[in-house]
Amino acid sequence: MNPNANTTNRRQFLGTTIGAAGLAAMPSWTRAQGANSDIRVAVVGVNGRGNGHISQLKKIKGVRIVALCDVDQVVLDKRIAENTKDGSYIKSYRDYRDLVKDPEVDAITIATPNHSHVLIAMTGIAAGKHVYVEKPVCHNPIEGRKLVEAAAKRPNLIVQHGMQRRSDLGWAEVMEFIKSGQFGKVTLSRALNYKMRKPIGKVASPVAAKDGVVAGDFRDTGGKPQKVNVDYNLWSAPRPATAFNREQFHYDWHWQWAYGNGDIGNQGPHQLDVARWALGNPEHLPKRVMSFGNRYGLSDDGQTPNNQLAFYEFEGAAPMLMDNRGLPAKDMDWKGRMPYYQGIQIGNVIHCEGGIIAETKATDKDGKLAKKFEILDGPDHMKNFINSIRAGKLVNENCHISHGYHAACLAHMANYSWRVGQTKSADEIREMLKADAMATETYQNFMENLTANKIDLAKDQTIVGPWLNFDPVAERFVGDFAAEANKLMEEEYAAGFELPVIS
């Protein structure tokens, strides 16, 4: 029997010699995909991005959402009510471990906080489910590598990342234009993320769960009261369930290291991935990385930098730069606009010998438009996942989980450099960058943004990380500060929430 065949429907299969009892005992990937060949999907984490998954899945013919899972009972009840108005039946789960045991689920999509992505994904793979996991696909490189290896060990399962630009035909055309050599070689691949991030507030003391539950009113992203009823042990997994410092329970975990990776690891992987793609998808992670910045102008419970530059050096490829900013253009005006570079606030600029490609436009050295691209940012990305399940293989290799791993690790590596850094003066930073004209220009613009926001650099000094050398084969830091950086990769996994071993 072909485990990925889509020509045999479930009714026919039940009539074979295996029988219904045998079917129930078999992992879902060995069976036809649901009644009348429907793909039966469950969404794990349905508060924000996961609600987007629901909307996307409902538009795909031949897909049935059969279960929703969330640790917040308030959110779960709301999504179940919203999606059963038409009389359809959808199961509800609090615990992802119970969900993946359900034989009526063929595939899961994961949109939980970053720290639980790999745990849930690998648990799903171990249970024989196809897996779609949001960016960043991992919270640290060690677990990310384990996820890539788990996917390789189960080639009959589809494991796809959630970075939509990888399935966009316009971006594929950009990469073909770069490879054509019309603009010569790439000299710098630049990633940009200019997105306002307001302060998250400051609690008087850490908030602890009561009897394993966090319940009550917190604030939502608009500052209004938001009721939560969270199984905190499940929410924290795989991290230990410790007290937390957040006025807003949901979302603001992005800016705290135990759960999030800052905006360079939130929005950043989309742009870091395109920047790496433009370099020809280097097989290995960069050989060196350095990052600097700070959480400028904010006094809150956030830990991650809001303005951050990162520089990457690959073996045999052009350099790469990530420019991440969370402050407005000027005057700390949160209702104002953001700064921009080459007319772009969130996106990519690829510098070449003969011109630049700035998102949709390729412009030669004389400023003449050479080509325009239609970029839609992958509206069929989720459909690609479903089509791959039907085909029994990835229909677009750009969506391979390894690309998600590389993009996430680029963010993590920059953060590790920053986290082991020290404060330095502006003159010291200029001296560090003086040999690189592009880096110097970017730093100057970076500083102008801080000045325009009246940041007191005597108070909010810039933290400068060292150049960290990286062994791209062993995937470990080497040399100066290696011990400190490698230790940051080795996170704690609470008892009962260890990563499954997949052979």
* Share of the chain residues as helix, strand and coil, in percent rounded to the nearest 5: 35, 20, 45
Q: What DSSP state is assigned to residue 447?
A: H
Predicted confidence at residue 37, as pLDDT, reads 85
Q: Which residues pair with 357 in a beta bridge?
A: 350, 362
Given the candidates 3.40.640.10, 3.40.50.2000, 3.30.360.10, 2.40.30.10, the CATH classification of the domain at 168-199+257-489 is 3.30.360.10
Predicted confidence at residue 458, as pLDDT, reads 86
Predicted confidence at residue 14, as pLDDT, reads 27
Distance CA 137, CA 78 (A): 26
Given the candidates 3.30.450.20, 3.40.50.11890, 3.40.1550.10, 3.40.50.720, the CATH classification of the domain at 10-166 is 3.40.50.720
Predicted confidence at residue 261, as pLDDT, reads 98
Helix count and strand count (H, E) for the chain: 15, 20
Residue-wise pLDDT for 368-422, tens only, equals 999 999 999 999 999 999 999 999 999 999 999 999 999 999 999 999 999 999 9
Distance CA 416, CA 289 (A): 9
Domain boundaries, the chain: 10-166, 168-199+257-489, 213-255
The average confidence (pLDDT) of the chain is 92
pLDDT along the chain (503 residues), means of 10: 33 28 38 65 96 97 98 98 96 98 98 98 98 98 98 98 97 98 98 97 95 92 89 98 95 97 98 98 98 97 98 97 98 96 96 98 97 96 98 97 98 98 94 92 96 93 97 97 98 97 94
Predicted confidence at residue 36, as pLDDT, reads 54
Rg (CA), the chain: 23
pTM of the prediction? Answer: 0.92
What letter represents residue 452's amino acid? A
Residues in the chain: 503
Q: Are 322 and 191 in contact (CB under 8 A)?
A: yes
Q: Is 405 exposed, middle or buried (0-12, 13-18, 19+ CB in 10 A)?
A: buried
Q: What DSSP state is assigned to residue 373?
A: -
DSSP letters of 113-159? -GGGHHHHHHHHHHTT-EEEEPSSS-SSHHHHHHHHHHHHH-TTS-E
Q: How many CB atoms lie within 10 A of CB 261?
A: 26
